[in-house]
Chain A
C-alpha cells in the first residue's frame, strides 16, 4: 500500500476541494452525539469521534428507497428508480468500513442489486482510524479496529499531520487533485503504527473467545438457556438492528398517490427482531417466540453471514449495546457467557 502525508494545516483545503466537485457527507456533532450528515464546509466536520448513532450504511442502503415508479392511468408504465448521487463519505471508522465490505458482498452476491451497486460505485470512502473508541466498542476482538481494505483513502492522525493510506486509484486521484501531500517516510509509518496501538489500548470491552471460535461457539449452543433468558427481557423493538451497520434486511411496499394513477414501490429497513418478520399470510409465524428471533439475530451475525458471504456479521461497533433499552443486546456478554459455559 502507498502512504502519503498531509499536514493538518493543509487538510481543510483538501475537504473544501472535494466539496467543490462532489457531495460530501461527514460526521457532525449535535448535542454531544455524533451523526453523519451532508457538510457544506470543512468547519462542520468532526474527525475525532467515538461512534455515530446511525452507521454510514444509510448512504448505501437508505432507510427508505424508491425501487420503481409507475403510472396507472391508461397503459401501465413502470420505470426502475435508482438514486446514485456521487458522494464522498468522509471520516468512516474501520469497523464501519468492514461493515460496508460485508454489504458489498451481500448486494453483489448472485443477483447483483443495481440500486446498491450503482450507488456504491459512485461512493468514495475516506476513512479515519478511530483514536478514542466508544466505551461499548469491542473492535479488537472482531479484528476491525484497523483495516487494510475497503476504503479509497484512510487517514491516521499522527499529531500535526495525517498519514493517508491509498486504497484505490480513485482515492489517489482525488488526493492528488485537491491536496498538497508528500510521500510518507519510515518515521511517519512508525508514528501511524504507534497511534493505532495507542487507540487499541483504550478499548474497554473484549470477548474471551477468539473471533474464529465464535461460529462454532454458537453452533454448540443452539439450545443454551441464555437465549430464553435474554428473550424474557426483550421488547422486540428492533432498535438493536436499526443501528447495526451489518443489518441489511428490508421490507417492500407500494404507495399510491391520492389521484390513484401514479405510485411507487419502495423498500425500507426491516428487522428480524420484530414479531411479524417471518409471518406468512395464512397466519403461520416461523419465528413466533422472541427466543427464536433473538437467537436468529445472534446466529446471523456470528455464524450464518460468515458461511454465506465469507465475513462475520458483527464488526464490534457496540451500537446495539447502547441502543437497547432492556440492556440485553450485548454481544460481548453473550459470547463470554457461552464461552464460560463451554
Chain B
C-alpha cells in the first residue's frame, strides 16, 4: 500500500440484498462499486461505514467461494448497527478491509473440523462452513454444533435445514429453552458434547460465540483430548480503526485487529486479559 493512501478511506459498496434473519439480526449482501472481489478469507472482518453515523467491525459471513458479492449478518445494538438495519436495497455503504488473520485454512486442510457456534457466532463461522462444503475433498469430517438461546433466535434457517439433511457434514443443534414446537435438544451448547466422538489428534475445534461460552466449551474440547493449539477462537473487542493504530482492541500487548481476531487457545491461555 502506498504511504499516501489513507488507511481510513473506505471503498464504496452497494447494498444489493437484505433479509431479516431474526428479530434482531439482518443479512446484508454487498457489492463493491468498483467491481472488485473483496478477496477475503473465512474469519476475517470488514469495517462497515454508514456515512454520517459511523463505522463498525463486522465479520464476513459469506464464503470466498461465493463470487461477485459478500455478506454480513448484523445484530442491532447501537448507532451503526441500527442505521444499517434502516438501509434499503440500493443504498451505499463504506467498506474497509478485509482485516484480521481469519481462520488458518492451511492448518485445517486434511483435518477434521469441529465447529462450535454460539448465537451470532454462526455469522463468521458460516463463512468457514460454506468454504469447507465448497472444497469438501480438502477436509476430513465436518462437525457443526450450533446453540441458540431460543428457536426464534436461530439464524440462516434455510441453510440449517440443508445442513440437517446434508451427508457432507454432521450437524447438531440445541436451544437453551425450547418452545411448544421445538422437538430437538434443549440445554446449553456443552450438552451436545456427549453426543459425538472424535479423533482428537486430527481434530481442530473452531469456536465463536459470546464471551461466557468460551470457558465451558474449551473445557469440553480439552476433555475430548483436543490439544490447546488445535482450539481456535475468534474474539470480539472494541475496535475503532481495524489497522493497529487506535489502541482499542488490545488484550495485554496483543492487537486483536492485527494478530487476531482468531487465536489458538495456547496463544490465549497466558494472556491474562484474554478470556
What is the interface of chain A, defined by CB distance below 8 A to chain B? 67-68, 70, 72, 75-76, 78, 80, 82, 106-107, 109-115, 117-118, 222, 248-256, 260, 263, 265, 267, 270, 272, 277-282, 284, 286-287, 292, 296, 299-300, 303-304, 307-308
Q: Which of B238, B243, B244, B272 contacts A279 (CB 8 A)?
A: B238
Determine how close the nearest CB of chain B comes to the CB of A275; give it in whole angstroms: 12
Complex Cα–Cα for A113 and B273 (A): 27
The CB with the most chain A CB atoms within 10 A, among B12, B49, B51, is that of: B51
| Set of chain A residues within 8 Å of B68, measured between Cβ atoms | none
Show 14 residue pairs from A and B whose CB-CB distance is below 8 angstroms, ordered by the A residue: A67-B6, A68-B10, A76-B51, A80-B8, A113-B245, A114-B3, A115-B8, A117-B3, A280-B237, A281-B77, A282-B210, A292-B273, A300-B250, A304-B253
Q: Which of A107, A278, A286 contacts B245 (CB 8 A)?
A: A107
Q: With A110-B258, A112-B1 as given contacts, are A249 and B77 in contact (CB-CB < 8 Å)?
A: no
B8 contacts A68, CB within 8 Å? Answer: yes
Which of B52-60, B137-145, B179-187 faces chain A?
A: B52-60
**Least CB separation from A260: chain B residue:** B52
The CB with the most chain B CB atoms within 10 A, among A68, A109, A270, is that of: A68
**Least CB separation from A67: chain B residue:** B8
Q: Which of A111, A222, A263, A308 contacts B7 (CB 8 A)?
A: A111
Q: Mark B106-124, 1 if CB is under 8 A from A, else 0.
A: 0000000000000000000
A265 contacts B247, CB within 8 Å? Answer: no
Determine how close the nearest CB of chain B comes to the CB of A223; give it in whole angstroms: 9
Q: Does B203 contact A (CB under 8 A)?
A: no
Determine how close the nearest CB of chain A comes to the CB of B202; give it in whole angstroms: 33
The 9 closest A-B pairs by CB, nearest first: A249-B247, A304-B253, A80-B6, A281-B77, A111-B243, A256-B52, A67-B8, A76-B92, A112-B3
Determine how close the nearest CB of chain B comes to the CB of A3; give it in whole angstroms: 32
Q: Mark B263-275, 1 if CB is under 8 A from A, else 0.
A: 0000000001100
Q: Does B252 contact A (CB under 8 A)?
A: yes
B9 contacts A113, CB within 8 Å? Answer: no
**Least CB separation from A249: chain B residue:** B247
Complex Cα–Cα for A282 and B56 (A): 13
B240 contacts A114, CB within 8 Å? Answer: no
Complex Cα–Cα for A39 and B247 (A): 33
| Set of chain A residues within 8 Å of B51, measured between Cβ atoms | 70, 72, 76, 78, 254, 263, 265
Q: Does B241 contact A (CB under 8 A)?
A: yes
Q: With A112-B7, A282-B77 as given contacts, are A254 and B237 in contact (CB-CB < 8 Å)?
A: no
**Least CB separation from A253: chain B residue:** B54
Q: Does B213 contact A (CB under 8 A)?
A: no
B6 contacts A70, CB within 8 Å? Answer: no
**Least CB separation from A304: chain B residue:** B253
Complex Cα–Cα for A263 and B52 (A): 6
| Set of chain A residues within 8 Å of B92, measured between Cβ atoms | 75-76
11 further interface pairs, Cβ-Cβ under 8 Å (given A76-B12, A267-B240, A307-B253): A72-B52, A76-B51, A78-B10, A113-B245, A118-B3, A222-B272, A249-B248, A251-B246, A251-B248, A254-B54, A286-B237
Complex Cα–Cα for A282 and B213 (A): 14
Complex Cα–Cα for A67 and B78 (A): 22
**Least CB separation from B245: chain A residue:** A113
Q: Which of A70, A260, A267, A278 contacts B238 (CB 8 A)?
A: A278
The CB with the most chain A CB atoms within 10 A, among B52, B81, B246, is that of: B52
Complex Cα–Cα for A249 and B238 (A): 13
Determine how close the nearest CB of chain A comes to the CB of B255; give it in whole angstroms: 8
| Set of chain B residues within 8 Å of A300, measured between Cβ atoms | 250, 253
Q: Does B197 contact A (CB under 8 A)?
A: no
Q: Does B158 contact A (CB under 8 A)?
A: no
Determine how close the nearest CB of chain B comes to the CB of A264; give it in whole angstroms: 9
Determine how close the nearest CB of chain B comes to the CB of A252; give it in whole angstroms: 5
| Set of chain B residues within 8 Å of A267, measured between Cβ atoms | 240, 246
Q: Does B94 contact A (CB under 8 A)?
A: yes
The CB with the most chain A CB atoms within 10 A, among B49, B247, B272, is that of: B247
B9 contacts A80, CB within 8 Å? Answer: yes
**Least CB separation from A248: chain B residue:** B247
Q: Mark B222-265, 1 if CB is under 8 A from A, else 0.
A: 00000000000000111011011111101111000010000000
**Least CB separation from B3: chain A residue:** A112
Q: With A252-B246, A272-B247 as given contacts, are A278 and B237 in contact (CB-CB < 8 Å)?
A: yes
| Set of chain A residues within 8 Å of B3, measured between Cβ atoms | 112, 114, 117-118
Determine how close the nearest CB of chain A comes to the CB of B148; give it in whole angstroms: 16
Complex Cα–Cα for A265 and B9 (A): 10
Determine how close the nearest CB of chain B comes to the CB of A260; give it in whole angstroms: 7
Q: Does B23 contact A (CB under 8 A)?
A: no
Determine how close the nearest CB of chain B comes to the CB of A10; give it in whole angstroms: 37
Q: Which of A255, A282, A284, A286 contacts B273 (CB 8 A)?
A: A286
Determine how close the nearest CB of chain A comes to the CB of B236; give it in whole angstroms: 6
B251 contacts A286, CB within 8 Å? Answer: yes
